């Protein structure tokens, strides 16, 4: 029969090994999946006023150029959007 002290020692060794393994797995998961997404969010949140103004001006100019055109959408795109809108409106009734 084994001594209680050796059982306790084996328990703590297993506990430390499992804890270390969990930390390694969580670190790998974070670095492979979440780090890229968080980096994009950090870049978006750190936009300064000048960059925001440039983006706003670009959006405005694109909207103006789109409104100056005779047709914004092609016939096929217009039909697809209309069918999609009709399907959604029937599902919401």
pTM, full prediction: 0.39
Give the Å distances, CA to CA, from 39 to 29, 46, 51, 54: 15, 11, 18, 21
- Residue 55 phi/psi, 5-degree rounding, is -65, -45
Predicted confidence (pLDDT) per residue in 26-67, tens digit? 998 888 887 777 777 787 777 788 888 888 999 999 989 888
Is the pLDDT higher at 11 or at 5? Answer: 11
Predicted confidence (pLDDT) per residue in 66-83, tens digit? 888 888 888 999 999 999
Could you give the CA distance from residue 12 to residue 55 in angstroms, rounded to a whole number?
Answer: 57
Residue linked to tokens 């390694």: 24
């Amino acid at each position: 029969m084994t001594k209680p002290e050796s059982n306790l020692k084996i328990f703590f060794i297993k506990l430390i090994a499992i804890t270390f393994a969990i930390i390694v797995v969580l670190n790998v998961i974070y670095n492979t999946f979440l780090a890229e997404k968080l980096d994009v969010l950090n870049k978006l949140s750190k936009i300064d006023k000048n960059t925001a103004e440039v983006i706003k001006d670009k959006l405005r100019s694109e909207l103006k150029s789109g409104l100056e055109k005779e047709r914004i959408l092609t016939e096929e795109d217009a039909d697809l959007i209309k069918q999609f809108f009709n399907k959604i409106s029937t599902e919401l009734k």
